Amino acid sequence: MEDPSPETWNRLRRYASWIRRVSLDQREFLGEDTVRQFRLNAPAGGWCPALRSLRWIISIDTLRYVDLLFSPQLSDVCIYSGPPDSISPALASTISALPASALKTLWIGAEWESSLDTYWAHLKDSFSSVVLCCGPSLVRLSSQTPLSDEAVDHVIRLPHLRTWEVEGPPPSCSASSPKFILPPLKEFTVGAKSARGWLSLFRSLEVRLSATQDVTPLSRMKKSLRRLSVYGHFSAFIIDLSFVFPIQIFQNLGFLHVGVGCSSEGRCIFKLNNDDIAKFAMAMPQLDYLVLGPTCSKNTCATTAACLLPLSVYCVRLSVLDIHFNTTNIVDDLKNISVDPRFQELHSLPRCEVWRLGVPDVPPVLDESGLRTVVDGMRYIFPRLSAFGHGMGTWHELYMKLHGD
């Protein structure tokens, strides 16, 4: 580009000083000469001294000049990593220059899926350096890439953190400190591979009293947590008692989403039975949204349609439900609910207002009588039910009958 006049540069500086939000994707290209001229003519306070929000997709092109936009006023930053071949050695030094001490929101993620361990390790060091610079103003942190132990330990000590998405495992040493107190998180999201480690930590912290106060390191988070999510794919993941038991610590939890599906090799990850679900429902009275793994078509789990009744009674706020249940003998299972002595005291109690129920991919084969039994049984358990999670075959017929008469 031709060298603009001093008047043009002054006008550019004035316009840039008004900018509050910037979004850079991989198509945002500035030539080397343009970048050089912007650096030579940068004002003392930087090009965007009032910038509050930055969304940056890392690429070789944007890496050349993104630091020109950095502002001490930044409060919200989203950093997306581009394809692996777009990362240069300058990434670490550029990211480390990001003013992070006043951030309220930091989102770190990838726009592609990669299993290149060496690449993730490179991102881990760079992103951890940003997290270590975050101060007590940080309210939300989402890191879809692993962080160093030092960075995780730093995050846990941030007093105003309320929302945290973490991919890696919990800290291994800081939990032994008598001053180790988790922040009062409202939302916690964790990757499937690390979920059991975090839940085990929560369970151990709950039973260990502080030496100086009659509280546990988990006391604040135990009362504050409202949303818990588990995401991603992990072949060894299972939903059993050792997984759900620590979750029951958070009795104010309203949203629980375990989005890990069954393996493609035919293995069902759901290892709970009806009694387990009944005890879980009794411990979680505040739930209004529950997904315990997307339902599958294996029909090998020990839970049946009978597990739905205690959920409807004990979780009275429930509106959305997705839980594994075996439909092999669904007609008899629903008929037996009315005579099962374990459920006698539940029949007269109010039901929740579930309107959407997740169902297995493959519906049962039912005749007209069986279809009517299932419709009536589902209406009995969930009086407000209006939608099934799938709309194919017999389940579609059930759905239509629920609406039709």
| Per-residue model confidence (pLDDT) at position 84 | 57
- pLDDT value, residue 280: 97
User: For the purposes of burial, counting CB atoms within 10 Å of the CB of 93, is it exposed (0-12), middle (13-18) or buried (19 or more)?
Assistant: exposed
Domain presence at residue 183: no
pLDDT for position 121: 62
Q: Please state the rounded mean pLDDT for residues 268-279.
A: 95
Q: How many domains does the chain have?
A: 1
Q: Which of 42 and 141 is assigned the larger pLDDT? A: 141
pLDDT reported for residue 35: 86
Element (H, E) at 140: strand 140-143
Quick one: pLDDT at residue 33? 85
Q: Is residue 7 part of a domain?
A: yes
The answer to whether residue 103 is domain-embedded is yes
- What's the DSSP call for residue 50? T
Q: What pLDDT score was predicted for residue 232?
A: 87
State mean pLDDT over 167-196.
Answer: 82
Model pLDDT, residue 379: 86
- Statement: residue 18 has pLDDT above 90: yes
pLDDT at 320: 93
Predicted pLDDT at 115: 44
Does the pLDDT of residue 49 top 50, yes or no? yes
Position 264, amino acid: S
**52 exposed, middle or buried (CB, 10 Å; 0-12, 13-18, 19+)?**
middle
Contact 163, 185 (CB under 8 A): yes
Binned at pLDDT 50, 70 and 90, residue 2 comes out as: low
Which of 24-38, 157-171, 233-247 bottoms out in mean pLDDT, i.e. has the lowest? 24-38
Is the predicted pLDDT of residue 184 greater than 50, yes or no?
yes
* Lookup: tokens for 161: 């953190």
**Cα→Cα distances 228→115, 187, 241, Å:** 25, 6, 17
pLDDT band, very low/low/confident/very high, at 120 (cuts 50, 70, 90):
low
Q: Greater confidence, 393 or 258?
A: 258
Answer yes or no: is pLDDT of 253 > 90: yes
Between residues 351 and 387, the one the model is more confident about:
351
13 part of a folded domain: yes
pLDDT in tens, 305-362: 999 999 999 999 999 999 999 988 999 999 888 887 777 788 888 999 998 888 876 6
| pLDDT range class, residue 91, cuts 50, 70, 90 | confident
With vertex at residue 144, the alpha carbon angle to CA 174 and CA 23, rounded to the nearest 5 degrees, is 125
Written as six digits, the tokens of 45 are 């306070």
pLDDT of the residue at 373: 87
Half-sphere exposure of 367 (CA within 13 A, CB side): 1
SS3 assignment, position 167: coil
Mean pLDDT of 11-38: 86
Which alpha helices (H) appear in 157-265, and where do they start and end? Answer: 192-206, 219-224, 241-247
In a domain, 288, yes or no: no
pLDDT mean across residues, the chain: 85
Q: What's the rounded mean pLDDT across residues 133-146?
A: 91
Q: What is the mean pLDDT of residues 370-389?
A: 84
**In degrees rounded to 5, what are phi and psi of residue 24?**
-115, 120
Could you tell me the pLDDT band of residue 211, with boundaries at 50, 70 and 90? Answer: very low
Residue 147: predicted pLDDT: 86
**Structural domain span for residue 63:** 1-124
Residue 257 contacts residue 276 (beta carbons within 8 Å):
no
Q: What percent of the chain has pLDDT above 90?
A: 43
What is the helix (H) or strand (E) element at residue 11, kind and residue range? helix 6-16
Output the furthest CA–CA distance in the chain (Å, rounded): 89
Q: Evaluate if residue 276 carries a pLDDT over 50.
A: yes
Nearest to 30 by CA among 17, 47, 18: 47
More confident residue, 239 or 397: 239
Q: Spell out the residues 6+ positions from residue 181 whose beta carbon is closer than 8 angstroms to its own.
A: 210, 215, 217, 219, 220
> Would you say how long the chain is, in residues?
405
Q: Note the pLDDT of residue 214.
A: 62
Q: What share of the chain has pLDDT > 70, as a percent?
A: 85
pLDDT band at 288 (very low <50, low <70, confident <90, very high): very high
Residue 46 is assigned to a structural domain of this protein: yes
Token reading at 46: 């930087």
Identify which of 89-93, 171-175, 304-308 has the greatest average pLDDT: 304-308
What does pTM read for this prediction? 0.88
Q: What's the pLDDT at 405?
A: 54
Determine, yes or no, domain membership for 197. Answer: no
For residue 2, is it within any domain? Answer: yes
pLDDT score recorded for residue 107: 92
| Nearest residue to 75 (alpha-carbon basis) of 163, 153, 129, 140 | 140
**Cβ distance 388 to 398 under 8 Å?**
yes
